[in-house]
């Protein structure tokens, strides 16, 4: 009798154990299925989201060649904010504007094409040029690929352009802070006219007000007359560069406040040379050779084959800026563009260092008539003046 009870008890215990095991197995299977489904859904969600892309900010100072910055070996032109960009990025020793006057230079920058090839080489010509079929400003290409593109605010284009196609916003109020959502990548171009030649037009009475830069510290090129007016003018220009540097610092601060600084490539450069005689309007180095620094954001250092703080002797020109931005953004440039990317995928530091050629040109600028073409190869520069018979065609 005791054996039967013990046997029944054993069977009952075994049944309970089997039932419990089956129940646990079923719950475990459900749990594993739920976890697997969650992982799968998360993976699909992540696959649906576009990869994070860098932002871009251009800071442009008007009428500004390399000859006014300590960053390029000069005694004056102390610009701590620009120098900080250089310490956290890449400084270009040989960067060149497409032309020595704003409208042609900015049109070259906007299109990534040589002005004489398309027909926009004349300063503010009345008959605007047409771009080749299928070509549009590269800011419009960025917009098509999901970027928010803004310009604050100078355009000065010599070609027919639909501003609503080129920019989401182009005005004195344009900013990346206006984009529809904070996850949207952006390209913002900011121009400052504090260094423009118009800021150096002053009455004689102005010279009674001392400049921050000492006139005694000013170095004049041998072809400038050493007069009080010339020294005051150049000292005043160095003062204007301090204002530009303040603007640069303000933009960097805004990006940092927005938590965007380390996601943003920041380009600082002059739009062409200036503003003393023999620079703006003339295709000499003083008219075309511009300062250029790219701050490399920490989160996208893998896209640049340089260490922060490096300098490069590789030659770059305004035609190359658009293709470079597109390449860094992972966008294929149009085959019609003349420029070639100097940073980003497929571009090594050695590739950039090997670049040692650049073209330049100067044509009609207000009442100044010219047809000048230049070619620089390494340290040598060839200048061909086709209309040297004009009084100012020098």
Per-residue pLDDT tens over the stretch 136-179: 999 999 999 999 999 999 999 999 999 999 999 999 999 999 99
pLDDT at res. 275: 86
Q: How far apart (Å, rounded) are the C-alpha atoms in residues 174 and 150?
A: 6
The dihedral region occupied by 281, where left means phi > 0, alpha psi between -120 and 50, and beta the remainder, is left
> What is the rounded average pLDDT of the residues 294-302?
99
DSSP 8-state secondary structure symbol assigned to residue 159? B
pLDDT at res. 23: 54
How does residue 388 score in pLDDT terms, banded at 50, 70 and 90?
A: confident
- Alpha-carbon distance values, 367 to 36, 182, 272, 370 (Å): 74, 47, 19, 10
Phi first, then psi, for residue 208 (nearest 5°) are -75, -20
Do the beta carbons of residue 316 and residue 94 sit within 8 Å? yes
3-state secondary structure of 377: strand
How does residue 59 score in pLDDT terms, banded at 50, 70 and 90?
A: very high
- Token digits for 173? 């109020």
Of 271, 281, 301, 375, nearest to 88 by C-alpha is 301
pLDDT at res. 270: 98
**What is the CB neighbour count within 10 angstroms for residue 394?**
11
Q: How far apart (Å, rounded) are the C-alpha atoms in residues 158 and 113?
A: 12
pLDDT at res. 274: 86
What are the residues whose beta carbons fall under 8 Å from the beta carbon of 155, sequence distance 6 or more?
106, 163, 170
3-state secondary structure of 288: helix
DSSP 8-state secondary structure symbol assigned to residue 368? B
What are the residues whose beta carbons fall under 8 Å from the beta carbon of 68, sequence distance 6 or more?
74, 76, 77, 237, 238, 241
Residue 297 has pLDDT above 80, yes or no: yes
pLDDT at res. 38: 46
> What's the mean pLDDT when you consider all of the chain?
90
3-state secondary structure of 312: strand
Of 326, 363, 325, 336, nearest to 158 by C-alpha is 363
The pTM of this model reads 0.88
Higher pLDDT among residues 266 and 392, named by residue: 266
Lowest model confidence (mean pLDDT) among 84-88, 165-169, 222-226, 367-371: 367-371
Q: How far apart (Å, rounded) are the C-alpha atoms in residues 368 and 375?
A: 21
Which residue stretches of 205-271 are H helix? Answer: 228-257
Residue 300 has pLDDT above 90, yes or no: yes
Q: Where are the beta strands (DSSP E) in the chain?
A: 55-61, 89-96, 148-152, 169-170, 186-192, 264-270, 289-290, 292-295, 310-317, 357-362, 372-377, 380-385
Burial letters 221-236, b for 16+ CB under 10 A, else e:
eeebeeeeebbbbbbb
pLDDT at res. 27: 52
Residue 6 has pLDDT above 60, yes or no: no
pLDDT at res. 8: 47
pLDDT at res. 164: 96
Do the beta carbons of residue 336 and residue 326 sit within 8 Å? no
pLDDT at res. 153: 96
pLDDT at res. 389: 86
Phi first, then psi, for residue 127 (nearest 5°) are -95, 105
Residue 369 has pLDDT above 60, yes or no: yes
pLDDT at res. 17: 46
Do the beta carbons of residue 283 and residue 374 sit within 8 Å? yes
What are the residues whose beta carbons fall under 8 Å from the beta carbon of 301, sequence distance 6 or more?
308
3-state secondary structure of 73: coil
DSSP 8-state secondary structure symbol assigned to residue 278? T
pLDDT at res. 394: 56
pLDDT at res. 44: 40
Higher pLDDT among residues 274 and 132, named by residue: 132
Cβ-in-10-Å burial (0-12, 13-18, 19+) of 337 comes to buried
Lowest model confidence (mean pLDDT) among 27-36, 54-63, 103-112, 229-238: 27-36
Higher pLDDT among residues 32 and 340, named by residue: 340
3-state secondary structure of 150: strand
Q: What is the CA radius of gyration of the chain?
A: 30
pLDDT at res. 14: 44
Q: How far apart (Å, rounded) are the C-alpha atoms in residues 214 and 243?
A: 16
* Cα within 13 Å of Cα(40), Cβ side: 6
Q: How far apart (Å, rounded) are the C-alpha atoms in residues 103 and 125?
A: 9
How does residue 41 score in pLDDT terms, banded at 50, 70 and 90?
A: very low
pLDDT at res. 391: 74
How does residue 392 score in pLDDT terms, banded at 50, 70 and 90?
A: low
Cβ-in-10-Å burial (0-12, 13-18, 19+) of 287 comes to buried
């Amino acid at each position: 009798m005791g054996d039967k009870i013990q046997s029944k008890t054993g069977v009952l215990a075994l049944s309970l154990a089997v039932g419990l095991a089956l129940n646990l197995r079923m719950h475990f299977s459900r749990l594993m299925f739920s976890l697997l489904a969650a992982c799968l859904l998360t993976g699909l969600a992540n696959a649906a989201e576009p990869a994070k892309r860098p932002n871009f900010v251009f800071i442009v100072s008007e009428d500004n060649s390399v000859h006014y910055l300590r960053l390029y070996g000069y005694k004056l032109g102390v610009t701590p904010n620009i120098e900080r960009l250089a310490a956290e990025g890449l400084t270009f020793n040989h960067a060149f504007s497409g032309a020595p006057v704003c409208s042609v230079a900015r049109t070259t920058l906007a299109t990534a094409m040589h002005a004489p090839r398309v027909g926009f080489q004349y300063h503010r010509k009345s008959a605007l040029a047409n771009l080749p079929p299928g070509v549009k400003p590269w800011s419009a290409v960025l917009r098509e690929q999901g970027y928010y593109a803004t310009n604050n605010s100078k355009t000065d284009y010599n070609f027919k352009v639909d501003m609503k196609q080129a920019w989401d916003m182009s005005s004195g109020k344009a900013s990346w802070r206006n984009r529809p959502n904070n996850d949207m990548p952006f390209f913002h171009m900011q121009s400052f006219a504090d260094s423009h030649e118009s800021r150096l037009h002053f009455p004689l009475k102005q010279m009674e007000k001392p400049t921050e830069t000492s006139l005694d510290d000013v170095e004049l090129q041998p072809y400038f007359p050493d007069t009080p007016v010339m020294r005051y003018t150049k000292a005043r220009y160095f003062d204007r560069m301090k204002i530009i540097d303040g603007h640069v610092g303000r933009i960097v601060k805004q990006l940092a406040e927005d938590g965007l600084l380390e996601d943003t490539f920041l380009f600082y450069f002059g739009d062409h040379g200036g503003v003393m005689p023999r620079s703006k309007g003339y295709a000499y180095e003083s008219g075309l050779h511009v300062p250029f620094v790219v701050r490399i954001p920490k989160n996208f250092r893998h896209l640049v084959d340089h260490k922060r703080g490096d300098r490069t002797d590789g030659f770059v020109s305004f035609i190359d800026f658009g293709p470079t931005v597109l390449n860094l953004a992972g966008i294929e440039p149009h085959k019609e563009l003349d420029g070639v990317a100097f940073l980003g995928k497929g571009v090594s530091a050695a590739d950039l260092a090997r670049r040692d050629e650049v073209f330049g040109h100067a044509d009609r600028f207000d009442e100044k008539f010219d047809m000048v073409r230049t070619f620089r190869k390494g340290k040598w520069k060839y200048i061909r003046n086709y209309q040297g018979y004009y009084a100012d065609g020098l």
